[in-house]
Amino acid sequence: MRYIRFVVLIFFAVSFSWPVAGDTDFCANKLARCLLNEAMRNLDDISKLSDRDEVYYAIASALADMGRTDEALTTALDIANIATYSEIQGKIALAIARSGDFEQAFAVANAISDARNRSFRVLALESVAKEQARQGDIDGAFVSVMPISNPFRRSQAQAAISVTVAETGNISAALDAATRVGMGYWFSENQDQHKIASGIVARTEDFDQFWFHEALVSISVVQARQGDFAAAMQTALAIPGTEGRSRAFAQLSGVQAGTGAFNQAFDIARRIETAFGDRESLVLIAEKLANAGELTRAADIARRVQNAYGDGRALAAVAVELSNHDKLDDALAMLSEISNPDNHRLAMRRMAIDLARAGKMNAALQILDAVPDNKTIADSLVTICTLLAQRGDIDQAIALSKRRAAAEEHQNILVAIARATVESASMDQAISIARSIDHPMFRAIALASLAPPGI
């Protein structure tokens, strides 16, 4: 289970002696240092390595966010778990890149050890490259991803670079970058080895230009979201592959629907050439229709999508909107039509959170009571209790967490409540909540998360 990780600030000096939390004269002006001192002292009561790792992770992450990256790297050395250590190195590398020191950022990212199931090194190299591109160093970004040995994954990172450039508003440079996305590697002498390494067994012609096409798909969506639909369609039409073009049309159809231009959205969807390619566009259109209050029309499309493709996402979106319109019985009835269990669970979570956000706690808890699995309940409770605390209903948030969450999850939720209390009430009350947490790891993370930056 991954615990809530908050951005925190901590002060380090070789010869500095931390003040005690009760030193009120000092703490009046040095609140962050006092809180972090108190948080650090909790490590004396934590013997489990994974729990200690979480505290050190939070500290190193905060140091990185504050630009104290050398101290962050030093703090990270106390993390025992290699995956957690690799993950924080990636965060530190990105923080260094944001400061403009791409050489050091690359060095940190490239030194990361790969995890067995997920390459934090590759993720870090891609993150550093995207930041380089965001700051205008496109050539350097392409150099930064060259150490990615898997050619398919390297092309994916190159595509991400081109999309990042598009998001800065420089579409011409983004399109130029997209043409640099690696192609042709599937016809190399060791292509079978590359396929096995990538976990891909497919026709080479499909994957030879896959990420080049995907880059163009994403760039067209960026253009559409920036309001230039004509240029977005030109980019989509320029995609040489039928499947890539169809993916672009599906996404552009959804963007049009989001603006309320439903006729245009359907027109774009009709241009999709691949079998089953209109599924994504119809899901998006149904969701946007529901958002616009056209629930009957949205429900009709959603049912057709499920009947044709077995996809219940559109039904889930309509059910959520029905609950938002105080039609809870109709929403629950629509939920019962969803055949896909994952779609069903996600819909219930969204409904519970939306109802809580609207202040309809009884209805939200009614939905929560019907959720079939503990993870969805736990995830929903974190969000709902945070919403309550942000609104100032702190006692209700704590009571709900204590009543509905498992013991350890309750400790985790208290961290979120303490942080939200700073926004809605007072620092004193937030600190009181943090100190009330029984588990020393969660108590340490909560106290550290309350430390105001820059103090």
Token representation of residue 397: 């948030």
pLDDT tens sequence across 138-170: 999 999 999 998 888 999 999 999 999 999 999
The pLDDT of residue 47 is 96
Give the Cα separation of 261 and 278 in Å (integer).
17
pLDDT tens sequence across 288-334: 999 999 999 999 999 999 999 989 999 999 999 998 888 989 999 99
pLDDT confidence band for 201 (50 / 70 / 90):
very low
User: Higher pLDDT residue, 15 or 421?
Assistant: 421
User: What distance lies between CA 28 and its chain's CA centroid?
Assistant: 36
Q: Count CA atoms within 13 Å of residue 258 on its CB side.
A: 15
How far, in Å, are 320, 325, 373 from residue 328 at the CA level?
Answer: 9, 8, 21
pTM to 2 decimal places: 0.80
Is pLDDT of 10 > 80? no
The pLDDT of residue 206 is 46
pLDDT confidence band for 117 (50 / 70 / 90):
low
pLDDT tens sequence across 207-234: 468 899 999 999 999 999 999 999 999 9
Least confident of 122-131, 177-186, 257-266, 295-304: 177-186
pLDDT tens sequence across 325-336: 889 899 999 989
Is pLDDT of 356 > 50? yes
**Above pLDDT 90, what percent of the chain?**
64
List all residues 6 or more positions away from 293 whose beta carbon is below 8 Å from its beta carbon. Answer: 321, 325
SS3 track for the chain = CCCCCCCCCCCCCCCCCCCCCCCHHHHCCCHHHHHHHHHHHHHHHCCCHHHHHHHHHHHHHHHHHCCCHHHHHHHHCCCCCHHHHHHHHHHHHHHHHHCCCHHHHHHHHHCCCCCCCCCHHHHHHHHHHHHHHHCCCHHHHHHHCCCCCCHHHHHHHHHHHHHHHHHCCCHHHHHHHHCCCCCCHHHCCCHHHHHHHHCCCCCHHHHCCHHHHHHHHHHHHHHHHCCCHHHHHHHHHCCCCHHHHHHHHHHHHHHHHHCCCHHHHHHHHCCCCCCCCHHHHHHHHHHHHHHCCCHHHHHHHHHHHHHHHCCCHHHHHHHHHHHHCCCHHHHHHHHCCCCCHHHHHHHHHHHHHHHHHCCCHHHHHHHHHCCCCHHHHHHHHHHHHHHHHHCCCHHHHHHHHHHHCCHHHHHHHHHHHHHHHHHHCCHHHHHHHHHCCCCHHHHHHHHHHHCCCCC
The pLDDT of residue 15 is 29
pLDDT confidence band for 256 (50 / 70 / 90):
very high
Is pLDDT of 114 > 60? yes
- Give me the phi and psi of 442, to 5 degrees please: -65, -35
**Above pLDDT 70, what percent of the chain?**
87
User: Higher pLDDT residue, 37 or 233?
Assistant: 233
pLDDT confidence band for 29 (50 / 70 / 90):
low
Q: For all residues of the chain together, what is the average pLDDT?
A: 86
pLDDT confidence band for 281 (50 / 70 / 90):
very high
Give the Cα separation of 431 and 414 in Å (integer).
11
